[in-house]
Structure 1
Amino acid sequence: MLGFISLLPSQSPGDSPSPSVAVPCPATVLLTGVSPELLEVHLVLLTGVPPERFELGGLPFGQKRTRQMEEVRGRESKDRRGGGGGGGDGDGERTERCRAEEVIAGNRAALEALRELVMYPVLYAREARVLGLNFPRGLLLHGPSGTGKKSMVRAVVRECNAHLTVIDSISVHKSHAGEGEKFMREAFTEAYSQASQGRPAVIFIDELDDICPPRGRSRIVGQLLTLMDGKSSKLLPHLVVVASATRVDAIEPALRRPGRFDSEIEVTVPTAEERFEILKLYTKNLRLGECVDLQSVAASCNGYVGADLQALCREAARRAYSRLSSSSESENVLTLIMEDWESAKSVAKNSVTRGVTKEIPAVSWDDIGGLKDIKKKLQQAVEWPIKHAASFDRLGISPIRGVLLHGPPGCSKTTLAKAAAHAAQASFFSLSGAELYSKYVGEGEALLRRTFQMARLASPSIIFFDEADAIAPKRTGPSANSSGNATVGERLLSTLLTEMDGLELATGIIVLAATNRPNAIDAALLRPGRFDMVLYVPPPDAEGRYEILRIHTRKMPLGDDVDLWRVAEHTELFTGADLEGLCREAGMAALRESLRSERFVCDDIHFQAALRSLRPSLTQSMVDEYSNAAIHGPLTRRKH
């Protein structure tokens, strides 16, 4: 059987119109997507004619699409009591139609896919019949809670003047057997009734992963499969089913095959630009002070989803009201200032990484004495890829994925990692060997995978592994376990290798690790693409020790006879931790004396007493051993 697509022959400006040309083509085409671009591709493949020459329904393809879209969006909604169909939730009330972008921001890809799923069966019904197209009938939106999946569906339904039927876990999980299945049948029947009248109808299944888990075929799952496969569903192109889920892998696999939920779209955590759009939407009715920089607020809210940003705006407004009510000034207008946003962030935190991420440490590069070369390399490796990502792309350079810090204990390796996270304003995830080694099999690997997953959601982010030699020990041969099973360390290493290899597709995620024993780490972690850079953190030299002493005594009242440079010269082989202990011991000596004389000053005599009572934690042979193990990796790699 052959169908016909009308084609417009090419003509030059000023030429008289030429008659349409009919080109035969197969009449039945099954599409898995409904975008106009995909429709054009199929028509070009079938006919070999450029898409600008297609004529559908008496109009050129692009012109017809634009005109039909304007007609649908411009149609005034009628009162249901008069027989017309107003948009909304099927509750019998009139709703004001507006563009979805007016009430929801971010996740444009998911919004467009949802709009196409609902509107295209109406816009292109005639063309679909001519070409034998089958529009997708199901869409699965999955992503973290609070990203706006339900709000997106309601906004598109209101814009398209469609009928909405909601099925949620509370309505399905009834106390009496059979009530949940009955509710689902009634919901589909209501949607069938609306779709059979030519009105777009949307069935929204909220929390599908809770309603239809993969653990066995329950009656609810069987009922949903029957309803979605029913003849009525297939004969009503105006009926679509949209579902939301937090964990897509926790859904019955039978629901995810073509013909049911044909398309799956991830609703991700918003980027900095999307967070800015969301904040503008939530603050359009608020009065902002001239000092408020919403772009700066958005940039500092890594990992915040739409619900978190809404809570942040609400908390900032509450703090502004509290400030206004307690102020003695006569100002009567509620105005939000930058301090309101900063203080609100301490209460309204992001929910995606709650319980996993650590607070960004309040440690700056100035809090670390010495190590200028190490700090410079860390700035290039950690800060630059986050703050200058566009420059890396222009030069075709892939930023490094991991940095391994090794050296004697007490030389500020952990403090360097915290300072890097603070300087980059990145989400900070910290794990140690004690947290990953659990008495329950598989729990450590699950925590490791969950940490990397949260880091992807809250990017830019830094994952820091303390005591890396315990997390990724060197493999020395077959497992000592007589059963042949891998040890805990081997399983953790395998999981870590897999996750770090997966970072090739991620952006804004850097792994930092610290160890005192670099030779005990498996060599597989040190290849390019994993820990690209290996930095040796030595004990501080005289200048570094002087800076460390200044940092730890900046809040101490020092006597005029205290010469910190002379103290630094007499503390060779002292680490940063040793010098901190020296200042503390000198302060305690001054405190013991001040309790008797009430003179709160730390003099040189107190530092000399502390020097006599303390010894460095390192020896020259230990320093030589650590320095001989130093290896240095490349900073960046050229993109392939």
Structure 2
Amino acid sequence: MSNSRLKPKEITAKVRPVSECDRSQDKATLQGFSRIWVNKDALILLTGGVESGKRCWVERTVPATPKDAASKDAAAEAALDTLRVSNHPVRRQALLSSLPGSKMPQNIVFMTEAYRKACGFHLGDIVTIKLDQDTAVPPAQLVEAEPLDEMGGDQEAAAWEGAAWFQLKRAGHVLPGLQIDCTVAGFKKTLRIQAVDSETDNVASFGENSTIRIRNASSLADGVPAAPRKLVVTGIPGLAAEEKKLNRFFRGFNTTFLHKGQQRSCGIVIHGGRGAGKSYVLDRIAATGWGKVFRIEENDKSSTVEDVFKQASAQRPSIILIDGLHTLIGKDRPNAGTITTKLGQQLDQLAEEAWKTNTLPKVLVVVSCLDYVTDVPLELQKLTRLERNFPLSIPNAQGRREILETLSGPLPPEDKDSMLTMLAQQTHAFNPSDLCRLMGHAVETLAERLDPLQEDPALEEVPFVRRGDLEQALRLTRPTAMHDVNLKPPTVHWQDVGGQEGLKKALRRMIALTTTTDPEVRKLILDPPKGLLLYGPPGCSKTLSAQAMATESGFNFFAVKGAELLNMYVGESERAVRQLFERARAASPSIIFFDEIDSIGGARGGGSGAGLNRSQGSVNMLTTLLTEMDGFEALTGVLILAATNRPEAMDPALLRPGRFDRVVYVGLPDLAGREAIFKMNLGRLRTAGDVDLSELARLSEGFSGAEIKQICSMASNRAIDAWLDGERSGEDSVIRMADVVEAVETLPRGVTNAMLDDYDRWARRFSKQI
């Protein structure tokens, strides 16, 4: 066999840009940058097949002329003067490929701009291409790089090495001369690869086991601000307690632990209702400037989630933000399970590193959702994953004042403080979003007042929002926390409840013991009151008294009928109960009022009353109610009121201490109570001088408060009928004593002696001393 037949085959071709054929092959991500593309026939000639990706040598034989380069790709090349001195030999490795389906001449080779710049080739160069004796691409062990500008010490260099590692990992290959642009904490820097495994003309694959080292690192360029060394979040108005908790968690990123395993997870969950400020808190964390910020969007795929974690791990310190986990892994997402698995795996890897190094890896993962229990899967609620969670509570008066200060808008300077204080006191249960809507409504009311026809009148001075505008805005704005389940009660005062002095006293004492801050009084309270059950005949002011308690206390009021929580779908009723209590906790101090509680609080076992034939769903909901009232989580700042006409149907577990601590019988009004109810209702109407309230109170014995109100309404109707029939006119059109007495004699009593006896028997068994 002759020597000519042993000589490797080669082809000669002219360099042209890849973009002439397919721009997608010259991506900014550097993927495929080390490939060169030849005609399919040329590939077969060189390799004996059509397989791409084999290693080859590219050597320049005839340099390009300035005219040739300028006519083809002058904008992409270096200055033309460079070409005049580029006669030095260039011999570099590349990966040989062909473009499928392309009709390219056999004497043309396509090169990416990144490859040409790294190796020194220019458009128009004539090159010789031949296959390497070892066509396999070896993995890179050590990649050495240098910064094109000054860099700080070892700590800064390590951050840039991580960023460069990710860029090369995504590119898949590396060769000397390659320039890569990196970003760390918002700052950009360009690095040039000097050598790959001590060689300067080779190409190698870059993978998990590859290492990059930056040489000649001295100091950062003057004038470039350094990223903050400590992770601290500030400037969250209205959420001072939450800000303090977050910074306590962030200490793990700023120091070494005293004890091994003191803190494992790099991730936290911030949860709260809509408008609670979750996105704002995430933005404040991103604004710390501690690390490069990566965001996982709600429509991202599982592969994207994994890539973001790898990128963040390579460019430490870094922050990964997931705003809306409930959407990212929602039930309608077909890949929700895969995304959940990927999140868990990435967090576990970070936790394992924390265990080994006794400090948290500088990769912070912050997740937001509406509800931690329901939106975060159980497999993510682990110590090494997303076990730490911070609920965003509804701000108190001081917090609302801080938020309103940032949203004050066009308020008169002389009255600004008093107006903001007034708003802060009157916006119970308003979250930050609600306060923003409130101020928007105030400005809209101002515009409507100044310009009801929406014209453009000339204003001599800047208009300010008045108190009337704010009051109108308060009427138009309903707090989010009070949405759906919550019913805002009518304004009812104690004087609007006729009689029932014992009940009023019990309710007043409950409020006083809950709100007192007197340290001496607190020493007298063993357990703050929690629940109060009102039972008795219908129409005896149980619901009215609860409304008056809400008005007089100023607490946020959540009123629901027991039947409203029942749902045909499995688990939904229990979820409704949990959400109700969660909202009440967030809006504390608050009152939850269960009307007709026997519909959900009936006895579970066999026997009489509601205990018969109770569905499993009703039993589960009752169990949830029992747990929420007196479970592992303290019910602080929330009072439970309930009313029932059927106390014998109640489950005994609801009546034990720690749940309904007090049981109050609300019976028929006594003589003084009946007179007070007549006075309250007839006092609003025109009555004759012969109306004797004391006599009416005597005649109406056995009537409930609601029935006495009905008597007054019937008497009013009789007076109106007499006026319509012409029997009365002018000043004679009044309600007479005879009208009221006739109504008393006509209306039947709804509460029987048998009913009262039943209440008395039950009271002897279950009532508690008030």
| TM-score calculated relative to the size of structure 2 | 0.61
Aligned partners of 1:135 and 1:237 also within 8 Å? no
Contact 1:374/1:535, CA 8 A, preserved across alignment: yes
Which residue matches 2:388? Answer: 263
CA distance in 2 between counterparts of 1:78 and 1:452 reads 43
Q: Tell me, yes or no, if structure 1 residue 297 matches structure 2 residue 423.
A: yes
* Structural mapping, 1:113-512, within 5 Å: 113-115=245-247, 121=253, 124=255, 137-160=266-289, 162-170=291-299, 172=300, 180-184=301-305, 187-188=308-309, 191-192=312-313, 194-195=315-316, 200-212=317-329, 218-225=337-344, 227-228=346-347, 237-249=361-373, 250-261=375-386, 263-283=388-408, 286-287=411-412, 289=415, 292-325=418-451, 332-381=461-510, 383-389=511-517, 393-475=522-604, 477=606, 487=616, 489-502=618-631, 505-512=634-641
Letter in 2 for 1:459: S
Q: Deviations over 1:536-587 (max 9, x none)?
A: 1221122211111122123311122322222222211121111111111111
Residues 78 and 85 of structure 1, relative CA distance in 2, 3 Å threshold: farther
Taking the aligned partners of 1:516 and 1:117, their CA distance within structure 2 comes to 50
In the other structure, the counterpart of 1:617 is: 750
Q: Provide the C-alpha distance between the structure 1 equivalents of 2:261 and 2:556, rounded to a whole number of angstroms.
A: 50
Q: Does 1:608 align with 2:725?
A: no
- The one-letter code sitting in structure 1 at the alignment partner of 2:329 is C
Partner amino acid, structure 2, of 1:505: A
Structure 2 distance, partners of 1:428, 1:623, is 31
Alignment check: 8 A CA contact 2:350 2:361 kept:
no
The aligned amino acid for 1:279 is: L
Give the one of 210, 218, 243 matched to 1:111: 243
Q: Is the 8 A contact 1:430 1:463 kept in 2?
A: yes
CA distance in 2, matches of 1:378, 1:480: 29
Give the aligned residue type for 2:340. Answer: V
Distance change in 2, residues 1:110/1:453 (3 Å): closer
Question: Which whole-Å CA distance do the structure 1 matches of 2:342 and 2:536 have between them?
Answer: 62
Q: Conserved in 2, the CA contact under 8 Å of 1:360 and 1:427?
A: no
Structure whose alpha-carbon radius of gyration is higher: 2
Unaligned runs of 5+ in 2: 1-184, 190-219
- The whole-number CA distance in structure 2 between the counterparts of 1:624 and 1:333 is 70
Change (3 A) 1:251 1:580: same
Q: How many residues align?
A: 533
User: What is the rounded CA distance, in whole Å, between the counterparts of 2:380 and 2:498 in structure 1?
Assistant: 59
**1:181, distance to aligned residue in structure 2 (A):** 3.9
Show the 5 A alignment for 1:531-542. 531-542=660-671
C-alpha distance 116-545 of structure 1, shift in aligned 2 (>3 A): closer
Cα 1:401–1:331 change in 2 (3 A) is farther
Distance of 2:744 and 2:309 partners within structure 1: 82
The Cα offsets for residues 61-91 of structure 1, whole Å up to 9 and x where unpaired, read as xxxxxxxxxxxxxxxx998699776799xxx
Identity %: 31
| Aligned residue in 1 for 2:20 | none
**3-state secondary structure, aligned to 1:502:** coil
**Residue pair 1:140, 1:242 contacting (<8 A) in 2 also:** yes
Distance 2:275 2:370 in 1: 10
Asked whether the equivalents of residues 87 and 160 of structure 1 are also in contact (C-alpha less than 8 Å), the reply is no
Matched residue type, 2:372: V
Shift of 1:454: 2.2
Within 1, Cα distance between the matches of 2:379 and 2:585? 28
Q: Is the 8 A contact 2:233 2:247 kept in 1?
A: no
Higher relative contact order (CA 8 A, sep 6+): 1
- Label 1:592 to 1:151 Cα distance change in 2 as closer, same or farther (>3 A): same
Distance 2:305 2:571 in 1: 38
Name the CA distance, whole Å, in 2 between partners of 1:217 and 1:447.
24
**Partner residue, 2:104:** none
3-state secondary structure, aligned to 1:244: strand
CA distance in 2, matches of 1:480, 1:412: 24
Structure 1 residues 262, 531: closer, same or farther in 2, change over 3 A? closer
Distance 1:283 1:512, change over 3 A: same
Task: Report the Cα offset of residue 342 of structure 1.
Answer: 3.0
User: Partner of 1:565 in structure 2?
Assistant: 694
Change (3 A) 1:466 1:254: closer
* Residue equivalent to 1:57: none
SS of match in other structure, 1:465: strand
Label 1:330 to 1:634 Cα distance change in 2 as closer, same or farther (>3 A).
farther
In terms of mean alpha carbon deviation, does 535-544 or 273-282 score higher?
273-282
SS at match of 2:534: strand
Distance 2:561 2:576 in 1: 11
**What secondary structure is seen at the aligned counterpart in 2 of 1:535?**
strand
Contact 1:233 1:239 in 2 (8 A): no
Kindly report the root-mean-square deviation, in angstroms, between the aligned alpha carbons of the 2 structures: 4.1
CA distance in 2, matches of 1:594, 1:272: 53
- The CA distance in 1 between the partners of 2:345 and 2:310, in whole Å, is 13
**Whole-angstrom distance in 2 between the partners of 1:560 and 1:321:** 51
Q: How far apart in 1 are the matches of 2:678 and 2:394?
A: 43
Cα distance in 1, alignment partners of residues 615 and 685 from structure 2: 53
User: What's the CA shift for 1:588?
Assistant: 0.7
Distance in 1 separating the partners of 2:584 and 2:628: 11
Q: 1:105 is matched by which residue type in structure 2?
A: P
